[in-house]
Amino acid sequence: MPKWFMPACIVCAVMFAATPIVIANAPFESTMGLVFKIFFYHMPSAWMFLLSGVLCGIASVRYLASGDARHDRTAWAAAELAVVFGLLTLVTGPLWARKAWGTWWVWDVRVTSSLVSWMVAVAYLILRRYGGPGSDKLAAGLALFGAANVPFIYISVNYWRTIHPATSVVPTLPVDMGLPLWFCVVAFLLLFILLLKLRVRLEEQRSRLDTIYLSANH
C-alpha cells in the first residue's frame, strides 16, 4: 500500500469520530428539528453514491475501448462502493423522510432514480460474481447502459409525484449548517478514496494470483 494510506486512514477515522460532535453543534433546522441531523450523513452518502456511479461508468467505457485491465479493476471497485453508499443513502433517506414527510417511501424523481441505479449496480456485482469467465466485458457493457440510462430514468420518473426538497437546499443553508455538512462531505470523500484504493488493491492481488497460477501450471 502507498505511503499515504495509513496516515490517511487515521485522519479519516478521526474525522468520523468528530462528526457527531460537529453535527451536534450545528443549529436545529426550524421545520424538522432533531431528525434533520440525519441529513449530514445522508447527503454525503448520496454524493459518494453518485461519484461511484460516474466513476464506474467512465472506467467501463475506457475498459471497453482499450481493454486495459486497470480500468476493469477500477470499475468493479467503483460498483461495489456504489452499492455500499447507495445502501446508506437508501436507508438513511427513509429514516429522515418518515419524520420529515410522514411517509417511509415516496416515488419521487430522485429517490426512484437512485433506487433504479442502485439496482443496476447490484446487478453488476451479481454478474461479476456468478457470470463466469468473460463477465468483465459484459459487466462493462451493463455499466455503460446503466450510465446512459440515467437521463431517461430521470425524465420518465419525473412525471410522477415529486416531494423531494429542491436541490438548492445546500446553497441556501446558513453557514452554521454549511460547515458541518462540508466537514462530513470531506470525511466521506476521504473514506471513499481509501475504500477505492483498498478494493482496487484486492483486484490487483487477485490478478497477480492468477498470473502465478498460470506460470505454475504451464
Residues in a beta bridge with 111:
none
The answer to whether residue 199 forms part of the interface with another protein (CB under 8 A) is: yes
- x/- site string to another protein, residues 2 to 41, per CB under 8 A? --------------x---x---------xxxxxx-xx--x
Q: State the Cα torsion 97-100-101-105 to the nearest 10°.
A: 10
Binding-site size for another protein (CB under 8 A) equals: 77
Residue 29's φ and ψ, nearest 5 degrees, are -80, 135
Which residues 111-150 are close enough to bind another protein by CB under 8 A?
116, 119-120, 123, 126-127, 130-135, 137-138, 140-142, 144-146, 148-149
DSSP 34: G
Among 11, 95, 173, 193, binds another protein (CB under 8 A): 95
Smallest separation (angstroms) from another protein to the CB of 4: 18
Smallest Cα–Cα separation from 141: which of 154, 118, 123?
123
C-alpha cell at 150: 440515467
Could you tell me the smallest distance in angstroms from the CB atom of residue 195 to another protein? 7
Specify the DSSP class assigned to residue 29. B
